[in-house]
Structure formats: structure tokens, C-alpha cells
Amino acid sequence: MNPLLKDFVTAPFSEIKEEHYLPAIQKAISLAKQEVNAIVTNTAKPSFKNTTEALEASGEKLNRITSIFFNLNAAETTEGIQKIAQEVAPLLSEFKNDITLNTSLFKKVKQVFDNKDKLALNEEEKMLLEKQYKSFSRNGANLSEDKKETLRKIDSQLSQLSLKFGENVLAETNAYQMHLMQEKDVAGLPESAKEAAKELAKEKNKEGYIFTLDYPSYGPFLTYAENRELRKEMAIAAGKKGFQKNKNNNEQIVLDIVRLRQKRANLLGYKTHAHFVLEERMAETPEKVISFSNELLEKAKPAAEKEFAHLTAFAKKIDGIEHIEKWDGAYYSEKLKKEIFDLDQEALKPYFKLENVINGVFTIANKLFDITFEEVFNIDTYHEDVKTYEAKDINGKLLALFYADFHPRKGKRNGAWMTSYKGQKIKSGINERPHVSIVCNFTKPTETKPSLLTFNEVTTLFHEFGHALHGMFANTTYQSLSGTSVSWDFVELPSQILENWCYQKEALELFAKHYETGEIIPMKYIEKIKESASFHQGMQTLRQLSFGLLDMKWHTEDSLHVSSIKEFENNAFKNTKLYPEVAENAMSTAFSHIFQGGYSAGYYSYKWAEVLDADAFEYFLEHGIFNKEIAAKFKEYVLSKGGTQKPMKLYQQFRGQEPKPEALLRRAGLI
């Protein structure tokens, strides 16, 4: 029997073959349709129980199967899986539309919604009903039949285009390698980076060194390689993903996606895709996002320009370079940082052995939230690199299963993310606990060294683990409101706040120990990490704002007349630009967050959530970074409530006030 169609507790990875996916998804769609049909044909008067709750409970098997499939398509894909994804995407989009465009079903949902004031519903039930009603009204339930048909076509096309976009980016990443034979070409690179590149060459039966566009290879190369021409080659290769005249070109795909999104928004009665998206976010309107971004830009730009001028003068002083380019940024920043703070990122790495950092994040979570983690070896995984843990509460009760996948591979897309294989909900009186996963791309161990993380990778691990805690502490009745099922501009709060502990002495001393001697990270390094936290924050802020503003421009402007992606981007970047333009490069053609992930018209949310996290962390700083009382409030109102209440209401219950942007500006050293 197809393992995906059996009842399973944890995902049966080792039993699944590629040929199981399509029939399992088709069967699960047909089961879900039967469940929906039972609601439609029920002759009893529509009620919260027989309509709202019944619809929420439908499609459970389909959700589990597709979560396995799409998670593997991101973390362990193959050509076969990618091909299946192209077949499956339109089926799922059609099924989703079969529900939201079902007139009889919508009538029932609307009837319950219209009578909501007569029903004795609690806050979570009200939220479920409201979100369910909106998911119909916002996705075409009120359209005429011919317009519904148009919407179906658009959704089907969009689902396939975003998959194709991601496949092209992955193919471009895998296609490039820099093969170097001479020692002088790797001058300046740390031993660890050279060793990793040597091992990669060996794996490919070659002499010398191989560098790729995977971040653990690409990052150190751009930061340390003394050969400017090679840095340039590497930076240009990374910047032209999806922007080359080959079969992986994403230019037309980008234009098709934004035009279809625009068409879809108009069809549904919205001015733009951004208006459609933001209606259900904390920010509410594109105007608010743009004014929020411009306000921050006003504060950050003078600092960024000053930092850039300083960096340029520094490059001229040490190497006689008149104009610094994009491939010089990380290199000279690292040198300047070393000069100002006497801080060498490479000197920090021995204190950040991956296993110690994992134990550190576990210990910090325990001190804050009384959660414990135990590695278990009886859970099926999709790759030998994947570690599994049981997370338990203070009474030893299972809170969640936790999967962690840390190293780059051929079938894994770049970046880091959190996801889940099973959501949390209360069913038949039983609180079903979630199965949560984080996926990263950290430096692999080598023959002589364990996996040693850069400080950047340490904060990435804490970030993703913050998302994971949001999933693990989920404690709601309904899965669609559980865990990270919150507004995009609120979802980054748990992840971003956790990064703050990486800069605190009390926290660092728990896990930052030298991998050979066991010596705790010296105080001088901790002070330097703290001091350097606001280094080039003006430039960093400008960079983040530039991505968010590009995203808003794609999703608020009429793209019908855009013929050149490059021109469009140059226009979007004109107020945030510091470095000279690189003709061969484009950002949009590999901007996976907005063209493949769920961040379209939502990239601003990283900065938005930074305002929340800086304000929230100030609360901890005032009372102690391990203050149990504040941690309990954070767990109660932010981590466990999911999307059961409006985000601002949850934030105010935790903090006792609305967030103030000054906290972020103070932390960034911009005021």
C-alpha cells in the first residue's frame, strides 16, 4: 500500500518512493472533496459546528501529504520530484478554487458569518469564522461564473510559474563552480574555507579547490579572497542567477508572475496585488508600508552614506582603490571591522561549534520557557544529516517533534527556513502536538575540523529556532490559527527577538566554548561582538529597505509596460543605491522570497518585525534577559496564541504598550 495513504504519526520518509506522491495527492484530494461535499449536502441548518468547524477539519490527509512533498522539494529535491511538483501544483490550485469558488458552500459559510452575533462564540471561534469567510470573499466567492473561471486559470498559472522560478534558481546555483589550482588564488582565505573547498574538489575527483554559490562557500570567498578579479567573477555569477540567456532565465517568469498577480487583484476588486495582500496584515495598506519604509530610510540614509564614504576611503588607503564595487563590500567591511574593533570573524569561529550552538539555543530556550530537548534516533528522516529531537515541557510532556537539517547539498535550495510536517490542533479533546523542522546551509565538518559557524550563522540558527519555538508552543484549537499561522509582518517577531540573545554575555557564556580547549569565549570578544553590533547598520538598513521597496514597486505599479527588468530595478533602487551598478546582474530574477516564497508585497515585514523585536527585547533588558515573568508573558501572548487574535492586541497584552520605533533606531545606533 502507498505509505503516504496509511495512517502515520511521523512522516514515513524511508518508505516513500517518488512514484507514490502523485497517486497519494490525487487520492487525498478526492477524500477532501468528499469531506467538503458532505458539508454542502448536509440538509441541517448551517451552524458553526456543521459548517465552520467541519470545513476547518477537512483535507487533513491532503495537508500532511503535501507538507511532506513540498518540504522535500525544497530540502532534498530531484528532477523527478520537480517534475511531479509541476503536475501537482495546478491540481492543488484547482482544488483550492473548487472550495473557495463553490457557491453552495459559500452560502452556508456566509449564513453562519451573518449570524455570528447570535452565536455564543469565544475569541478563537470568532477569528476562525471571520478568517474563513474572508478566505472565500477575498478569493473570488462573489465573482460571476466567467470571472471565477478566469481566476482558476490565473491561480493555476501562478502556482506553476513560482515552482519553475525556484527550479531555475536552484539549477543556476548548482551549475556554477569556480575551480582554482594555484595557492595564490586562495590567498587571504581562512584555513577552514580552503579545507572545505579542497574537500569539495576531492568529492568531484579534482585537484585544487572548488568554490560554489552555496553560502558557506560563497560567503567566505567574497569576505576574504584577496584576488579582486576572482571576487568579481564570483559576485557576478551570484548576481546573474536567472538573468542569463539560457534555459534557466527568469525574466519573463518574473513579468508573468507580477502581471498575473495584478490581474488577479483587479479581478477581485483590489487596486493592486499589494492592496490585496496588505488588507490582512498589520500594516494594512501599501501607503503605510511605503511611508514606514521612507521614514526609516530618512534616518538610515545619512548614516549609510557616511559609512560608505568611510569604507571607500579605507579601501583607497590600504589598496589604492578609487571606487569600491559590490564585490569589495564584504572584503573591506571585514578588514575595517577588524581594524576598528580588533575583531576577526575567523577568531570567533572556534567558539561556535555547531553542536555547542545547538545546545546553547536549547539551554536559552529552557531558561526562558522551561522547554527541554532530547535527541532521539528512532524517527524516520529523509537524509542522514537530519537530526531529530523530542521537545518536552516542564512536566516532561511532549510539546513537539523537532527536525533539524543543517548542511548544504545538491538537492537543497540556498538559505534557511522553518517549516512543519504536522500542525498543532485539538481534535476530539486531544491536543495533537506539532512536528516542526528547521533547514539551514551551514559549513560542513571537514576531515580535521567540526562544523564551526560564523557569528552570522549563529544568529541565523537562533532566528530559525525562534520560528520553531513559535511552532512548538502552539496551543490553539484550530490548526489554521495555530503556531506560525499569523500575519507575515508578525511572524518574524519570535525569530528576530531570539537573535538578541546572541549579543548578550550571560547567554554567550552558556555555549560559546572553544571546540578544542573548552575555554569560554573571552570577555574581550563578547565586548567586541556587542560593540560591533551596530557596525554598518546604516548600510544594512538601507539594503533591507531596498529589497522591501523593490517588492512594493513590483506589486503596486502597473507592470504591463515593463520591458526591462534591469531598468525597473534601477528605478526602484535610485534612493537606496550606494555601489555602482553591475550590468550583468539583476536582483528580481533570483528574489525567491517574493517570487517563490510567501513574501510578495511582504518583504517589508522583516523591518516591521525588527521594530517589534527591538521594542520587545528592551522589555527584557530592563528586567533581565532571563526574566521568567516576561518570558512567560511572551510565551502566553506571542508564542502560543498563533493567529487567534489580532497581532497588535497580542503584542500589547505582552508588552503593555504599542511598539516604539525608537528602540530599533537606538539598537542600530541611528539615534
CA-based angle 176:457:668, to the nearest 5? 115
DSSP summary character for residue 497 = H
Which grid coordinates belong to 246?
539560457
Q: Which residues, at least 6 apart from 190, have a Cβ–Cβ distance to it below 8 Å?
A: 220, 224, 346, 349
**How many contiguous H segments (helices) and E segments (strands) does the chain have?**
27, 9
What are phi and psi for residue 265, nearest 5 degrees?
-60, -45
**Dihedral sign of CA atoms 273, 279, 280, 281 in order:** positive
Judge contact between 550 and 602, C-beta under 8 A.
Answer: no
Rounded to whole angstroms, the Cα distance separating 608 from 647 reads: 13
Which grid coordinates belong to 381?
528522516
Does the active-site annotation cover 464?
Answer: yes
Rounded to whole angstroms, the Cα distance separating 618 from 608 reads: 16
Residue with cell 556587542: 530
Q: Rounded to a whole number, what is the largest CA-CA distance in the chain?
A: 82
Rounded to the nearest 10°, the torsion over CA 646, 648, 649, 652 is: 160
Judge contact between 61 and 35, C-beta under 8 A.
Answer: no
Judge contact between 234 and 211, C-beta under 8 A.
Answer: yes
**Inter-axis angle of helices 326-341 and 228-239, to 10 degrees?**
120
Catalytic residue among 464, 492, 569, 610: 464
Rounded to whole angstroms, the Cα distance separating 279 from 259 reads: 20
CA distances to 134, 227, 390, 472 from 51, rounded to whole Å, are: 15, 65, 35, 28
What are phi and psi for residue 279, nearest 5 degrees?
-55, -30
Rounded to whole angstroms, the Cα distance separating 637 from 651 reads: 7
Residue with cell 517577531: 493
Straight-line distance from the first to the last Cα atom of the chain, in angstroms, rounded to the nearest whole number: 63
DSSP letter string, 72-109: HHHHS--HHHHHHHHHHHHHHHHHHHHHHT-HHHHHHH
What are phi and psi for residue 461, nearest 5 degrees?
-60, -45
Active site residues: 464
